[in-house]
Amino acid sequence: MKMMKTLLLLLVFLCVAWAQDVLEYDDYDLDNKVSSKPNKTVDGASVDARGHRPLDRTRESYTNRYAPPPISGGSRYRGRPTAAPVGGPKKQEKVPQPESGGCTHASEEMGVLCPTGCELKTTLTKQEKNVKIVINELKPELDELSQSSNQIFDYVNGMSNSLRERQRLVTDNNRVVVQFTDQVEENHAYIKEVVDTVFPSNLRVLEGVLNKVRQKIQKLETAIQAQREKCKDPCTTKCPIPVVSGKECEDIYRRGGTESQMYMIQPDPLYPPYKAFCDQTTQNGGWLLIQNRLDGSRHCEIPGEYWLGNERISQITKTGPTEVLIEMEDWEGTKVHAKYSRFTVQSETSNFVMAVEGYSGNAGNCFLEGSPELFGENRTMTIHNGMMFSTYDRDNDNWNPGDPSKQCAREDGGGWWYNRCHSANPNGRYYIGGPYTKKMAKHGTDDGVVWMNWKGSWYSLKAISMKIKPFFASR
């Protein structure tokens, strides 16, 4: 009985140790060392599921950004002005003069005259008549003399003015003659210089310009002749655009465009049409290609490196229910796919948030479940559903937003709906052959064309593409 208790207790300890080993499968120390449990393998190749960004006990925390406080201090008004006094200046009252008696002076301010002044006034009044008679006799003679003096003055003054005017005219005439003579001599010297030097020089310059123009005309005639020789045959284009067009590839398919090639599509009549590739053969056709990785080149029939653009993807997916198909191929020729029955990309105001649901396929559900090789929060931080689109110059991932030293798009080689950071990286760096290592990566990270749920972090796919079409129940 005692032996049974001992064995049971030992079994409990073993279970606890096994559970702890499973839970700590994805725990790493600060030096990014892998845990003691061996890494999983795919086709014999070693796979490190999380690369260099594990969840550890000292994980960074995200805090709200600084919000500026309300504006305070200062005023928009000044003090009111002081009111003006009522009424105007007072008028000084007249000072009354005391009455002293006697005769009043002509000016009131000088007071009154003494009594003897009245007697003098009487005497002057008596002599006034005699003085008036003498004045009246002298007045005509004075007027005649004044008139004669004025006539003489006017005559003399006129003679003086006439003399001055004649002198001025003579002086002006002499000055004009001298000035005109100087101008004639100056013009004569200029004309002689122009005729002797400038004209011959300009003629030589014009002859040089004329020769250059003749040479250019000859070159143009030669080029035109060569162009005519090249254009004898009708011109052809390597990437013809079919006559059929529509709102998207499904509309084009229903209009008769059943061949997989480039078409002109116009999802919104308010925006100009553009070229896009339509896959009209895969799963009943009608698929609009939005992303493609093949060999770093571009083709007409099958685009090599291709990204439709977030604005256009958002515009199409917001018009109605849309499904997305992700097809991929490894370097051995094996092909798998992942399909989501609902796929929407929001507008730029939300940084192109992606939302998906309804997974089916055999490649693994990276968008909704993350990497199955990870556990707990290590796995959830690789889910892409609900993430914003991050690029080199726009850090919108969940790995310490705003920290340029911790930016998924820079370290993982391309723009994508990164979390912290990914389980799928279709726009990563293209590694020929498949397997690659940390030493081959630019930042030592899993930056290849990765779909972790199929080939793991350290296998770069040969080809991967994303296609969308309107979702409808019947085919």
* Buried/exposed 432-447: b ≥16 CB within 10 Å, e otherwise: eebbbebeebeeebbb
CB within 8 Å of 287: residues ≥ 6 apart: 249, 278, 279, 280, 325, 467, 468, 469
Helices (H) and strands (E) in the chain, counts: 9, 13
Using the 8-state DSSP alphabet, how is residue 154 labeled?
H
Answer whether residue 22 is part of any domain. no
* Buried/exposed 169-198: b ≥16 CB within 10 Å, e otherwise: eeeeeeeeeeeeeeeeeeeeeeeeeeeeee
Residues 432, 409 share a domain: yes
**pLDDT for residue 119:** 59
Residues 458, 368 share a domain: yes
Answer whether residue 405 is part of any domain. yes
If one counts the domains in the chain, the total is: 2
Using the 8-state DSSP alphabet, how is residue 265 labeled?
E
CATH code for the domain of 251: 3.90.215.10
pTM: 0.55
- The answer for 444, left when phi > 0, alpha when psi is -120 to 50, beta otherwise, is left
Residue whose C-alpha is closest to residue 451's, from 346, 344, 343, 361: 361
Structure tokens at 362: 């055999």
Residues 172, 207 share a domain: yes
Residues 338, 368 share a domain: yes
**pLDDT for residue 159:** 80
Residues 210, 285 share a domain: no
Residues 384, 290 share a domain: yes
Q: Which residue has the tokens 């009594």?
A: 115
**pLDDT for residue 462:** 94
**pLDDT for residue 121:** 66
Residue whose C-alpha is closest to residue 314's, from 237, 412, 389: 389
Q: Which of 235, 269, 300 is the last residue of a domain?
A: 235
**pLDDT for residue 466:** 96
| Element at 230 (helix H, strand E) | helix 199-230
Residues 229, 363 share a domain: no
Answer whether residue 57 is part of any domain. no
* pLDDT tens per residue across span 285-311: 999 999 999 876 655 666 778 899 999
Residues 212, 182 share a domain: yes
Answer whether residue 418 is part of any domain. yes
- The answer for 382, left when phi > 0, alpha when psi is -120 to 50, beta otherwise, is alpha
**pLDDT for residue 23:** 35
Residues 228, 258 share a domain: no
Using the 8-state DSSP alphabet, how is residue 282 labeled?
G
- CA dist., res. 131 & res. 160, Å (int): 43
For the chain of 475 residues, list the mean pLDDT of each consecutive stretch of 10.
52 45 35 35 41 45 33 33 51 48 52 54 69 78 78 79 81 81 81 78 83 89 85 67 86 91 91 92 94 73 83 92 94 96 92 93 94 85 92 87 82 90 92 92 90 93 94 68
Q: Which structural domain range is residue 214 located in?
A: 142-235
Answer whether residue 68 is part of any domain. no
Answer whether residue 158 is part of any domain. yes
| Element at 329 (helix H, strand E) | strand 322-329
- CA dist., res. 361 & res. 369, Å (int): 14
**pLDDT for residue 301:** 63
Q: What are the φ and ψ backbone dihedral angles of 190, each rounded to 5 degrees?
A: -65, -45
Residues 222, 279 share a domain: no
Residues 420, 295 share a domain: yes
Three-class SS of 387-421: CCCEECCECCCCCCCCCCCCCHHHHCCCCECCCCC
Residues 227, 152 share a domain: yes
β-pair partners for 326: 338, 466
